[in-house]
Amino acid sequence: MKNNYPLSCVDCGTFSCHTGEKFPKFCVSKNLQQEVLDQAVECYNDEENHKTMLAAAKVEFEHYCKYTRVEEIVSFAKEMGFHKIGIATCGGLLKEAGTFAKILRLHGFDVYGVCCKAGMVKKEDLGIDPACNAVGENACNPIFQAKQLNHVGTELNVLVGLCVGHDSLFYKYSDALVTTLITKDRVLGHNPAAALYTAGGYYKNKLDSIE
């Protein structure tokens, strides 16, 4: 398989950057550009970035392998002192988003959610191939989801099952920090990691045929 990049962390698997031993020759930590690392570390001095890292570290330390993702998001939001939580949800996961909203409200948060089809913009108005109307005429609208949550002033936005690519646009246009509760995978019950766990067996032929 052709790859125009040098070997990197995904080719390692030793987690030497955590253990501090047996570094491969291509180790990213040992072959990095110091100025890139310095720039990254400097960014943590930004007030919001610093606060976020402290909160994330505390949640990890106190609840690692103890809390579910839902509980971790609640804990993180409390550590950050947030009160307004936005939910950007797929229409197919409105029930799950509603349950999550109830949990957040029980913990004292103000919650505002926006469905992917909100605004009801036609796909043809966005220049999308008419053939795509076979799965619905209205387009998913992740940029509107982000901008509507920006408009109401949410402090943390949570993604619930946005499509691949749509989630990318939401991340791009959200003013608030974003975390993900559910990553959509209709085939695997929204557990995309299952394809990786079975890549050497059941799923091998499927992965080999990806175009």
pLDDT tens-digit series, residues 15-39 = 889 888 889 999 999 999 999 999 9
**Burial tier of 143 (Cβ tally within 10 Å: 0-12, 13-18, 19+):** middle
Identify the architecture of domain 67-211 in CATH.
Answer: 3-Layer(aba) Sandwich (3.40)
Predicted confidence band of residue 211 (pLDDT cuts 50, 70, 90):
low
Predicted confidence band of residue 209 (pLDDT cuts 50, 70, 90):
low
| pTM (predicted TM-score) | 0.93
Query: For position 21, what pLDDT does the model report?
Result: 83
Task: Dig out the tokens for 36 from the structure.
Answer: 């890139």
Spatial separation of the C-alpha atoms in residues 124 and 121, rounded to whole Å: 9
Domain coordinates of the chain in residue numbers?
27-66, 67-211
pLDDT tens-digit series, residues 101-159 = 999 999 999 999 999 999 999 999 999 999 999 999 999 999 999 999 999 999 999 99
